[in-house]
Amino acid sequence: MAEKRRVKPEDLYELLSVGNPVFSPDGKRAAYVVTGISEEKNDYYSNIFVLDPETKESFQWTHGKCRSHSPAWSPDGTRLAFVSNRNGDPQIYVMNTDGGEAKQVTDAEKGAANPVWSPDGKKMAFTVRVKPGETVLKKGKKEEKEEKKRPEPLEVEKMKYKSDARGLFDGRYQHIAVLDLETEDVRLITEGENSFSPQGWSPDGRYFAFSDIMHEGDDLSFHQDIYLLDWHTGKTENITKGRGMFNQCAWSKSGRYLAVVGHGQEFKNATLNKIWIYDLQEGRFDCLSEGWDIAVGDFMIGDFLQGVAAPRPVWDEDDRGLYFLASREGNTNLYYSDLKGNLRQLTKVEGHVYGFSVSKEGRAIVSAAFPVKPGELYEADLERGSLVPLTAVNRSFLERAELSEPEEIRFAGAEGETVQGWLMKPAGFREGNKYPLILEIHGGPHMMYGNTYFHEFQCLASQGFAVLYTNPRGSHGYGQKFVNAVRGDYGGNDYRDLMLAVDYVLNRFSFIDENRLGVTGGSYGGFMTNWIVGHTNRFKAAVTQRSISNWISFYGVSDIGYYFNEFQHMLDPSDFEGLWKISPLAYVDHIETPLLILHSEKDYRCPIEQAEQLFIALKHRKKPVKFVRFPEANHELSRSGKPNLRIRRLHYIADWFKQYLLP
Residues tagged active-site = 523, 635
CA dist list (Å): 327 to 370, 373, 475: 14, 19, 11
Contact yes or no for 331/351 (Cβ under 8 A): yes
Phi, psi of 261 (to 5 degrees): -100, 135
- Distance between CA atoms of residues 359 and 352, nearest Å: 21
Instruction: Give the torsion through C-alpha atoms of 629, 633, 635, 638, to 10 deg.
Output: -90
- Distance between CA atoms of residues 641 and 309, nearest Å: 17
- Distance between CA atoms of residues 587 and 614, nearest Å: 10
* Number of neighbours of residue 3 by Cβ within 10 angstroms: 6
Cα 445 vs. chain centroid, distance in angstroms? 13
Contact yes or no for 117/72 (Cβ under 8 A): yes
Contact yes or no for 275/287 (Cβ under 8 A): yes
**455-462 vs 643-661: helix crossing angle, rounded to 10:** 40
Kindly state the helix (H) or strand (E) to which residue 82 belongs, with its residue range. Answer: strand 79-84
CA dist list (Å): 199 to 132, 227, 591: 22, 9, 50
Q: Which residues contact 72 (CB under 8 A, 6 or more apart)?
A: 22, 80, 81, 82, 115, 116, 117
For residue 403, give the nearest of 16, 11, 13 by alpha carbon. 11
- Distance between CA atoms of residues 213 and 197, nearest Å: 7
For residue 572, give the nearest of 542, 596, 601, 552 by alpha carbon. 552
- Distance between CA atoms of residues 661 and 514, nearest Å: 11
Specify the 3-state DSSP secondary structure of 249. strand
Alpha helices in 297-420, H assignment, sequence order: 395-400
Phi, psi of 34 (to 5 degrees): -115, 125
Dihedral of alpha carbons 610, 616, 622, 627, sign: positive
- Distance between CA atoms of residues 600 and 633, nearest Å: 5
- 67 secondary structure, DSSP code: B
For residue 561, give the nearest of 597, 610, 616 by alpha carbon. 610
Q: What is the spatial order of strands in the sheet that 257-263 belongs to?
A: 245-251, 257-263, 274-279, 284-287
Contact yes or no for 493/414 (Cβ under 8 A): yes
DSSP assignment of 525-551 equals HHHHHHHHHTT----SEEEEES----H
